[in-house]
Structures are given as C-alpha cells and as structure tokens.
Amino acid sequence: MRLEIPTNAERFGANTFYQVQKIYELEGGYGIDTEFDSPFHVIQQIPYDRLHEIEKDLAIIIPVKNERLRLLEGVLCGIPHACLPIVLSNSQNEPTDRFRMECSMVDTFCRHAKKKYLIAHQRSPEVARLFSDGGYLHLLDEDGLVRHGKAEGMLAGIALANLVGKKYVGFIDADNYFPGAVFEYVRIFSAGLSQSKSPYSMVRIQWHSKPKIVDAELFFAKWGRVTRITNQYLNLFLSQYTGYETEILRTGNAGEHALSMPLALALDYSTGFSVETHQFVSLMEKFGGVLPSPFPEIMKTGVEIFQIESRNPHLHEATKGQDHIREMIEYSLSVLWHSRICPALVQKDIARELRRLKIVRKNESPLQLRRYPELSTLNFSAAAAALDWSRHGNYTPA
Ligand code: GDD
C-alpha cells in the first residue's frame, strides 16, 4: 500500500490521535521501493511482504446477527488468506436455525478455499463457560450466558483470538455487499498497524462514501447522521483539554477497526452499538493523564491511533430504520456524557443536542450504559480448558 504519512496529530496524555491518512495505491509493490529512500516524502510505501507479516497474526472478527448468508460469504471471500476469520454469531436458533445454516456455509466455503476459521454462537453455553471459568462474570446475564449485543459478540471474539495466540484483532461487519471493500479494510488494518512504533495501537477506517439513490441518481454521501454528531462532540471533548479547537477525530463510530492485542485487552468496553465511541472514552480516561492510569507501562510507551480513509464506497444492508439511527446517536452521546472526565461544557451541549433530537426530556439524564472492564482481568489459562476447538471450526491453536 502507498499512503500518506500522518504529519498532524493531537496528543492527549499518552494518546496520539493521527489525522486521517489518504491512500494513494492499494497495492504498493513487493519489497522496498528505493524511490522512498529520501526522508523528504509525504507518502510512504508499505510493501506487500510487511502487510503479510501482520496478517499472519491478525484475527478478523465478524459479528453477525441474522444477515443474509450470501453477504457473509462475500465477507469471507474478501479476507486475505493469511488472516484467521472468527465468526461470532447471535443469529436465531428457532424457528429456523440460522446459526446452523451459517456454520454449514462457512465450513463448506472454508473447506473449498482451504481456509482456517473459527465460528461460535455468542449465546452458547461453551462460550459462556469461557468467561465463567476465566472469572470474568461481567459479560454474563441472569441465565449465565453472554449478553446480547454487538459489543458483547466483539468481546467474545477478542477472547477467542487471544486464546489462539493472535497478536492483532480487526472487526468487519457481516452485511457488506462488496468483498473488494472488505479486502481493502483488512489491508488498511495491516498497513495501519505496521506503522506503529508502540505495541499499543489502533486503526480506524473512515469510509470514503456511502452510496445512496437520490432522485433516481447515485449519490455518494460522505457523512452519516450518527457519525457527524458523534465526531462533533468527540472533538469538542478533546479540545476542552487541549485548549485548541480541532476536527481531527473523524471515526467516532467506525465499525471497521483493528487493535493490537495488548491494547484490546487493556481498554474498557461499553454495550451494544456504543462500543466504538466508547473506545475513545476509554483511551482518554485510561491514558489521557487526567485520571491515574491503571497501566503505567502504557503511559510510558504511548498509544497510537491511526485513521485511514478507504477508497471503496461502503455498501451495506440499510434496512435498520430511524429508531436504529436514534439509538446509535443516543448510545454514542451517552457514553461521552457519562465519562468520568467529560467537561461540564460538553455535558451541557450534549444534553441540549439530545433534547433537540427529542431523545431525552428536560432534566432527564442520558442513559447510563453497561460497561465492561478490561479483558486482561480474564484468566485465560483457566478459560482455555472450556473450549473444544474441533466444535468451532478447523483451526486448532498450537
Ligand atoms: N454477534 C453479534 N451480536 N453481532 C451483531 C449483534 C449482536 O447482538 N447485533 C448486530 N450484529 C452484527 C450485524 O449482523 C452486523 O454484521 C454488525 O453487527 C453491525 O450491525 P448493524 O445492525 O448492521 O449495524 P449498522 O450498520 O447500523 O452500524 C454499523 O456501522 C456503524 C458505523 O456507521 C455498526 O458496525 C456500528 O457499530 C457502527 O458504529
């Protein structure tokens, strides 16, 4: 890949938030291009072999809930061979057993492609045992099963990826229409992660555009309603601490993102669709230097957050409706409002926005959402005994 070197960044404690990087070539060539020997470049080349090194250690978690099988198959097709796909499903078991259909499709596909994979149902007793045996009970409901929700599926996926020894995790939604876009997202993950000088890094994708039909014409919208609002308040939050107005954060709701495993295990998480915005809250709370950090070694090493703009348009299932959009806005703004370090002015503006959108009433506080502490508190050796890997795909950890 050939992409811009991020020259601008905002620093907040140990966090470095880089500006969005533009991609020049999706495929940057094999081996080092000596044209880039001079230090005076604004573009960098990340050769294919370097991306491959990262991808060997990268698990791609695909959260899925009742999506069309053809879309899920397309997503599998877009994931480079060296990565390990981990499908985490919360699809229905009855009246039609959609999870069984997913297992069958994924297994056939991977058998033909000779591709390694893992698949698990988020609500299975086996996945629940992983967390009960590992002493991480926060994720379990009154039935002793992993709670419903996208974040909850992602956490189960991170735990599985760590158990099989992966060094990086990336997330890609199962309802993507373009395998080529999925392929690009994974390449962006590996390119982004390869730039980091710290073992604690994250890459977030800013979609190039989301095509829509407007008056019988294709229109390539850049910003969704949720993203626009989340980013506005995230930047306001950051600027209250730095003292400088900023627009650097563009990926507040990035469903497609990747983390190095040490960072994935050190962050707190928040339920359902608040998860992506909350990652910023967790970064600012834990490594912003405002509160004492539970990870002094990370404070010394630093955390790098890259934002990269994809080139493919993002086309996904868009039948979720206005209530879903409102819920996503509510969730994103609520986690900012409830942050222990949210400045009073930001709280006031968020409350006003939520009232304007008729999401909260006067004098009502935003929703307090369920939070999950860092996964590093899970006892992974105790959890490892819970799983019979042969029931979850064709990948057996060494
Ligand atoms: N395992 C699991 N468990 N997966 C789920 C669950 C769940 O409870 N709920 C939804 N999913 C899966 C869906 O099947 C899909 O693959 C993915 O999670 C995203 O869910 P969507 O319902 O398609 O979300 P969206 O398209 O509105 O929003 C996406 O993009 C946003 C950015 O615009 C999500 O990725 C958001 O998290 C993201 O902020």
Q: Return d(Cα 320, Cα 323) in angstroms, integer.
A: 8
Q: Return d(Cα 44, Cα 4) in angstroms, integer.
A: 6
Measured from the CA of 174, which atom of ligand 1 is nearest?
Answer: 16
Going by CA atoms, what residue is nearest to atom 17 of ligand 1? 173
Residue 13 alpha carbon to ligand 1 centre in Å: 31
**8 A C-beta contact, residue 15 and residue 303:** yes
Ligand 1: which of 65, 323, 327 to mutate, judged by most atoms within 8 Å of the beta carbon? 65
Q: Return d(Cα 152, Cα 140) in angstroms, integer.
A: 9
Q: Return d(Cα 155, Cα 265) in angstroms, integer.
A: 9
The 3-state secondary structure of the chain, one letter per residue: CEEECCCCEEEECCEEEEEEECEEECCCCCCCCHHHCCCCCCEEECCHHHHHHHHCCEEEEEEECCCCHHHHHHHHHHCCCCCEEEEEECCCCCCCCHHHHHHHHHHHHHHHHCCCCEEEECCCHHHHHHHHHCCCHHHECCCCCECCCHHHHHHHHHHHHHHCCCCEEEECCCCECCHHHHHHHHHHHHHHHHHCCCCCEEEEEECCCEEEEECCEEEEECCCHHHHHHHHHHHHHHHHHHCCCCCCCCCCCCCCEEEEHHHHHHCCEECHHHHHHHHHHHHHHHHCCCCCCCCHHHHHHCEEEEEEECCCCCCECCCCHHHHHHHHHHHHHHHHHCCCCCCHHHHHHHHHHHHHCCCCCCCCCCCCCCEECCHHHCCHHHHHCCCCHHHHECCCCC
Which single residue is written with the structure tokens 């190039």? 208
**8 A C-beta contact, residue 15 and residue 288:** yes
Number of Cβ atoms within 10 Å of the Cβ of 258: 30
Q: Return d(Cα 307, Cα 250) in angstroms, integer.
A: 8
CB of 200 within 6 A of ligand 1: the answer is no
Sequence ranges of the domains in the chain: 2-391
85 DSSP β-pair partners: 60
Backbone angles phi, psi at 356, to 5 degrees: -60, -40
- CATH for the 2-391 domain, from 3.50.50.60, 3.40.50.1100, 3.90.550.10, 3.40.50.150: 3.90.550.10
Q: Return d(Cα 233, Cα 249) in angstroms, integer.
A: 10
State residue 375's pLDDT score: 97
Ligand 1: which of 150, 206, 251, 331 to mutate, judged by most atoms within 8 Å of the beta carbon? 150
CB of 174 within 6 A of ligand 1: the answer is yes
Instruction: Supply the pTM of this predicted model.
Output: 0.96
State residue 208's pLDDT score: 84
Going by CA atoms, what residue is nearest to atom 3 of ligand 1? 150
One-letter amino acid of 242:
T
State residue 319's pLDDT score: 64
CB of 262 within 6 A of ligand 1: the answer is no
Predicted confidence pLDDT, tens digits, the chain (398 residues): 999 999 899 999 999 999 999 999 999 988 888 888 777 788 999 999 999 999 999 999 999 999 999 999 999 999 999 999 999 999 999 999 999 999 999 999 999 999 999 999 999 999 999 999 999 999 999 999 999 999 999 999 999 999 999 999 999 999 999 999 999 999 999 999 999 999 999 999 998 888 888 888 888 888 788 999 999 999 999 999 999 999 999 999 999 999 999 999 999 999 989 999 999 999 999 999 999 999 999 999 999 999 999 999 888 877 677 888 899 999 999 999 999 999 999 999 999 999 999 999 988 999 999 999 999 999 999 998 888 888 899 998 77
CB of 147 within 6 A of ligand 1: the answer is no
Residue 191's nearest CA partner among 168, 157, 166 is 168
State residue 272's pLDDT score: 87
Instruction: Kindly report the length of the chain.
Output: 398
State residue 219's pLDDT score: 85
State residue 290's pLDDT score: 97
Residue 282 sits at the vertex; the CA angle it makes with 277 and 237, to the nearest 5 degrees, is 65
**8 A C-beta contact, residue 51 and residue 190:** yes
Residue 150 alpha carbon to ligand 1 centre in Å: 6
Q: Return d(Cα 349, Cα 49) in angstroms, integer.
A: 47
**8 A C-beta contact, residue 229 and residue 356:** no
Residue 30 alpha carbon to ligand 1 centre in Å: 35
Q: Encoding tokens for residue 23?
A: 């991609």
The HSE-up count of residue 81 (CA atoms within 13 Å, CB side) is 5
